[in-house]
Amino acid sequence: DQQVKQNSPSLSVQEGRISILNCDYTNSMFDYFLWYKKYPAEGPTFLISISSIKDKNEDGRFTVFLNKSAKHLSLHIVPSQPGDSAVYFCAASGNTGNQFYFGTGTSLTVIP
Partner 1 sequence: IAGITQAPTSQILAAGRRMTLRCTQDMRHNAMYWYRQDLGLGLRLIHYSNTAGTTGKGEVPDGYSVSRANTDDFPLTLASAVPSQTSVYFCASSEVVTDTQYFGPGTRLTVL
Residues that bind partner 1 (CB under 8 A): 2, 4, 6, 9, 32, 34, 36, 41-46, 49, 89, 91, 93, 95, 97-100, 102-105
Q: 27 vs 79, which CB is nearer to partner 1?
A: 27
Rounded Cα gap, residues 56 and 4, in angstroms: 19
Give the closest residue to 9 by CA, choosing from 111, 112, 108, 99. Answer: 108
| Euclidean distance between CA atoms 10 and 55, whole angstroms | 25
* Min dist. Cβ of residue 112 to partner 1 (A): 27
For partner 1, which is the closer residue by CB, 44 or 63? 44
CA distance 70 to 57: 17
Closest approach of Cβ 100 to partner 1, in Å? 7
